[in-house]
A = this chain, B = another copy of it.
């Protein structure tokens, strides 16, 4: 037997899932606003950073390093390639794989966008008191980590991927 309680909007407003969705939208809006001078979305920025720190990574491993869906990432890579921020080169030892590298333009945009990204990230938490910012960030980091396996694409950090290297 289901419930008989009157339904109010609190069923939505106080649900963590709703708050996470809302906060994510706010985060994207702030990122776009701060970084509108650069032709980069938050997802594209994360992908660029990962390619920058892992030159020659392939799409599947990139997906694990930033925890983005492999299908989605295909389109992201396409757009980054169209903007000439990255190049795709076929891997010599495995003809299925295409390796990803930053171009000069990609490295440049990454270098230049950093201050704006930092500003956007700061603005997201700015309304809170400094101590609360720290607390929230710590709890959020913890929660994302502990819920890692609950997402379709769990994060597999660099270390966990090294043994998958082609010539290891």
Contacts and interface: CB of A to CB of B under 8 A. Distances in A.
Interface string A4-40: 0001110110111111111111111111000000000
Interface residues of A, number: 66
Contacts of A114: 2-3, 11
A142 B128 CA distance: 8
A26 B139 contact: no
B26 A150 contact: yes
Majority SS of interface residues in chain A?
helix
B143 A128 contact: yes
A121 interface: yes
Contacts of A139: 128, 132, 135-136, 139
Nearest to A47: B12
Contact of A25 (B29, B115, B151): B151
Contacts of A29: 150-152
Interface of A: 2-3, 7-9, 11-12, 14-31, 42, 46, 49-50, 52-53, 65-67, 110-112, 114-115, 117, 120-121, 123-125, 127-128, 132, 135-137, 139-144, 146-147, 150-153, 155, 157-158
